[in-house]
Chain A
């Protein structure tokens, strides 16, 4: 089921007059069948049904802009050769 806003090519905030105008425009454009356009217009002109159509727009979640992460740690060289491999010689 295509979103009625998409069928009529109107924004989510459009008013009644804009919806009716867009219905005429969509009928001329013939991108969708006339019945589909009529149903879409009817849906957007009925507030309860329009709210159902609005439901299908993803909810925007408020989030912070990510800032680069500051790191105080410094890279160090690892020297494994300094280890005494015979530290636990068990045949002594």
Chain B
């Protein structure tokens, strides 16, 4: 009993001791916190504040919760401040880890309260931002960040409002202050992503700057376009006035037409000012032009002034056209006279480059024989003076040739002299026409035969060409330039000669470069198309090819395209790219080639020659075989190609087999394709049969592992024997007979190897049979018999014929 009492006492004492332990108390406080009995929990936690490491944090959490539950700002502030005050009481550094995040929440709550109180007050908002920036934010960083953004947004709004108030006051110094406030508003708006205030502030800053007569630039500001529409109106209106004050009239006009495009008497006033300015300018321009005209006829106008006068006429005419159309026309009318003066001066001063330039800029200059002749003179002069360069030689040469090939240009020369009055001139040999095609010719010009008194215009043209050719052949010092110039000259001359020879109608003939540069090429191509459509003359299409540019819908282009296909195949042969030929080998492409006889009939020769070139480089190139097969398939006419292919394969196989570079089976496989294409070529057939024999003997002597593949080919041959094959297959029969003879000499019963032999059936009935080696021998002998002369295959013609048709080989059927 005493023991029990002692135990009870010890138990009770132990219980009280346990209850008074900090851990136990902390657990109790936690339970009270969980049941939201914060006051009781606070009492316990205060007791163990320094005894339990987590007590301060829990205490702070209780006060935070009480603050969050509280209804009044004062009470809330009291609790949150108490939380922050706990930091000073904490002595255990391990406690801070949990406390920091609770304190941060309390600080956040405090800054929220302060933000609510500060709304609209720039000073207080700024103060609270500083409070946030210095606060412990551990674990609440994103909350603080969002709150700060709200501050920025409020500050942006507040500064913008303040700025508008100052701007409205209207005094100079206040407008300056307004700019500062708008700038702050824009900065805070950028931080809070408030694009409306950013855009509006930008516009208002510019308006204020304009009010202060400061210079502004509106270029590249997308913010203005997104700002308030009324702000935009005010800004652009003020800006237009600013530009007008600075005499930037064209800029002002652009601003008005782009941004002030609405009805308003104030806008009309701006437009009226612009018009007045234009009228004043027009008056000034006309006065200047009249002064220049006077100088021109006083002969005091220098070449530079004349050039500047001429160059500025178009702009002057365009500008005056807006004010007074008739005045603009009058200005434009003086251009030909100035042009003539300038050109004459340039030629007199031997400034040929400048002369060529202004001629080329003159609208449709080629329609004037005079201008075309002067272009020829300048081109000649430029070349004779050694001024040809890589930059100008195409313009110069095409200009010269086009000028000399124009019969009208030469005819025009006749107008300027009297020495020729006693002569007549014949166009019969003229190089600028192939027919009596000029509709209107002068009285002293005819198409009669050339005589002493009837002078050949063609001879004159040829003399001019010869003189020019002498210069470009002999007098260009730079050898590289000389080469490109002479090549270009030959190409251009050849092309214009061809179109002159083809075209019947009296059109303007130009070299390809001249025609393409001046947009005349399609007229020439259309003439050539017409010629082809009327006479099926493919020469006309050939002549048109150098003139192709943006001419895809013409027959000339189709002709070029078909030719290009052949060139691409030839290029693929050169590069040993059979895949490229395969891609080009389409029905559509073949249709284009077939359309033109010239091209179609020369395809085979073209491809044959290209392949021959490749063979001459390397006559043992196996890669070439697939290319040749593709070419046979590509060309409608392919006899020569097939012969070329088969011969090449046969030579390859003979050489490689003899040198033991390829085995008999590979040679047989290759020769099969040669036989397929030339089944009645004795050389091919004989070599093919020999390879059949080699392969059969290899099987018999166990010298190959490709028995199955060999038998496949032999089975194919059985069904595809050409007449030439049948005439030359004795070799196989002979081989069979020799084998049988050897078997017989060795004592074998040869009747066992021939099913057609009646004795073979008798042996079978008697139960006599061949071992594996014997069966192999029997199979070989059977194939030799079937492929040799001893037995003809049944109706092989149809099968071979069908296969050959599939491979575009249908024009060479076995007899």
Contact = CB atoms under 8 A, between A and B. Distances in A.
Decide whether A and B are members of one complex: yes
Interface of A: 1, 12-15, 47-52, 54-61, 63-76, 78, 80, 82-85, 87-91
B164 interface: yes
Contacts of A85: 211, 237-238, 241
A80 to B, nearest CB: 5
Contacts of A68: 290, 293-294
Q: Is the interface of B mostly helix, strand, loop or mixed?
A: helix
A1 B368 CA distance: 27
Given A73-B327, A78-B276, A80-B273, A57 B416 contact: yes
B573 interface: no
Interface string B366-410: 001111011011001000100000000000000000000000011
B672 to A, nearest CB: 70
Interface residues of B, number: 81
Contacts of B283: 71, 73-75
A61 B340 contact: yes
B296 A54 contact: no
A-B complex: 7 closest residue pairs judged by Cβ atoms? A59-B370, A90-B230, A48-B459, A87-B266, A52-B463, A71-B286, A51-B460
Contacts of A14: 419
Given A58-B377, A88-B266, 7 more contacts: A15-B419, A48-B457, A49-B460, A51-B410, A51-B460, A59-B371, A68-B293
B471 interface: yes
Contact of B467 (A13, A52, A59, A66): A52
B262 to A, nearest CB: 11
A72 B279 CA distance: 10
B44 interface: no
Chain A CB within 10 Å, residue with most, of B331, B417, B470 = B417
Contacts of A1: 384, 467, 470-471
A52 B376 CA distance: 12
A87 B420 CA distance: 79
Contacts of A58: 343-344, 347, 373-374, 377
B480 interface: no
B540 interface: no
Contact of A91 (B168, B273, B331, B376): B168
B90 interface: no
Contacts of B294: 68
A71 B233 contact: no
B47 interface: no
Interface of B: 164, 167-168, 207, 211, 228, 230-231, 233-234, 237-238, 241, 244-245, 264, 266, 269-270, 273, 276-277, 279-280, 282-284, 286-287, 289-290, 293-294, 296-297, 323-324, 327, 330-331, 333-334, 336-338, 340, 343-344, 347, 368-371, 373-374, 376-377, 380, 384, 409-410, 412-414, 416-420, 423, 425, 455-457, 459-460, 463-464, 467, 470-471
Contact of B413 (A15, A54, A83): A54
A90 B62 CA distance: 55
Nearest to B168: A91
Nearest to B167: A91
A74 to B, nearest CB: 7
B416 A91 contact: no
Contacts of A48: 455-457, 459-460, 463
A83 B368 contact: no
Contacts of B168: 91
Given A66-B296, A71-B286, A88-B266, A59 B374 contact: yes
Contacts of B412: 59
Contacts of B457: 48, 51
Contacts of A47: 420, 423, 455
A60 B410 CA distance: 14
A44 to B, nearest CB: 9
Given A15-B419, A61-B370, A83 B270 contact: yes
A4 to B, nearest CB: 11
15 contacts: A49-B460, A51-B420, A51-B455, A55-B460, A59-B412, A69-B289, A73-B323, A74-B279, A75-B283, A78-B273, A83-B266, A83-B270, A88-B230, A88-B237, A90-B233
A54 B237 CA distance: 66
Contacts of A57: 377, 413, 416
A85 B376 CA distance: 62
Nearest to A14: B419
Contacts of A15: 419
A61 B376 CA distance: 15
A88 B233 contact: yes
A59 to B, nearest CB: 4
B377 A56 contact: yes
A88 to B, nearest CB: 4
B84 to A, nearest CB: 45
B218 to A, nearest CB: 16
Nearest to A89: B234
Nearest to A12: B417
Contacts of B369: 59
Nearest to B279: A73
Given A65-B337, A74-B283, A51 B413 contact: yes
Contacts of B470: 1
Contacts of B293: 66-69
Contacts of A51: 410, 413-414, 420, 425, 455, 457, 460
Nearest to A82: B269
A73 B326 CA distance: 12
B419 A12 contact: yes
Nearest to A51: B460
A61 B416 contact: no
A54 to B, nearest CB: 5
A55 B417 contact: no
Nearest to A77: B276
B340 A55 contact: no
Contacts of B238: 85, 88
Contacts of B237: 85, 87-88
Given A71-B286, A83-B269, A85-B241, A66 B377 contact: no
Contacts of A89: 234
